Amino acid sequence: MISIIVPVYNESKTIGVFLDHLFSHSSDALITEILIVDGKSSDGTVYAISNYIQSKKHSGCCCRKIKISQSEKGRAIQQNHGASIAEGEILYFLHSDSYPPKYFDQYILAEIKKGVNAGCFRMQFDDTHWWLQFIAWFTRFDSKYCRGGDQSLFITKSLFEDVRGFDEAYKIYEDNEFISRLYKEDAFCVIPKIIKTSARKYREHGIWTLQYHFFLIHLKKTLGASPEALYRYYLKYIAK
């Protein structure tokens, strides 16, 4: 059984569409719960989720599986918190602007049955710009350099606990750091199905500008920059 863990912050406008997608693209039998971990949003995200649950109660939707929890802001913190209260044996970390493929739960379970302990999907942006299509194409390759949190991440709870979860020192880059450790465990696969993710940050900042800053963050990490240094750079150039 799968626990879906979704860290959110100020997603009141889109969370309903996201939840509709999860229910329409999975089966009731395989999903234990959908844990929405809110990082103390200021836009009424928790209220929007509660309204969604109320509106779906009599529609046959499995909204009873939605659970809301709160923690300090930060994806590593929020995802670790979700994992700590999850009831499923399989954890599926998913960003609220990434939309997994039809039958995603069945694809995940099929890999687990093969003995795979962690993995993700290939990715596609919701934008047709040739550069975004180009970099998304590389997500088909089984390399830690082609990974990112927008591809989502499934992992057995036992392995997650063995590797001690996300490093909460990272306020950004937490997914990449965590997945790099998983590759050392030789426990990763890329399911050949597409998860579609939002290119909103690229549209906000400009594709080439944002790609330049992402490249420098990767380079800084490779050269040994601390989590704090990476976050300072992010705050200065991206988090506007």
**Predicted confidence pLDDT, tens digits, the chain (240 residues):** 999 999 999 999 999 999 999 999 998 889 999 999 999 999 999 999 999 998 887 676 677 799 999 999 999 999 999 999 999 999 999 999 999 999 999 999 999 999 999 999 999 999 999 999 999 999 999 999 999 999 999 999 999 999 999 999 999 999 999 999 999 887 799 999 999 999 999 999 999 999 999 999 999 999 999 999 999 999 999 986
Nearest in space to 194 (alpha carbons), one of 144, 235, 133, 240: 133
CB of 117 closer than 8 Å to CB of 111: no
The span from the CA of 101 to the CA of 87, in Å, is 23
Q: Token pair of 36, please?
A: 């929405």
CB-count burial class (<10 Å; 0-12, 13-18, 19+) for 62: middle
Give the angle 167-171-174 at the CA atoms, nearest 5°. 45
Question: Which pTM does this prediction carry?
Answer: 0.95
CB 96 within 8 A of CB 159: no
Residue 235 is which amino acid? L
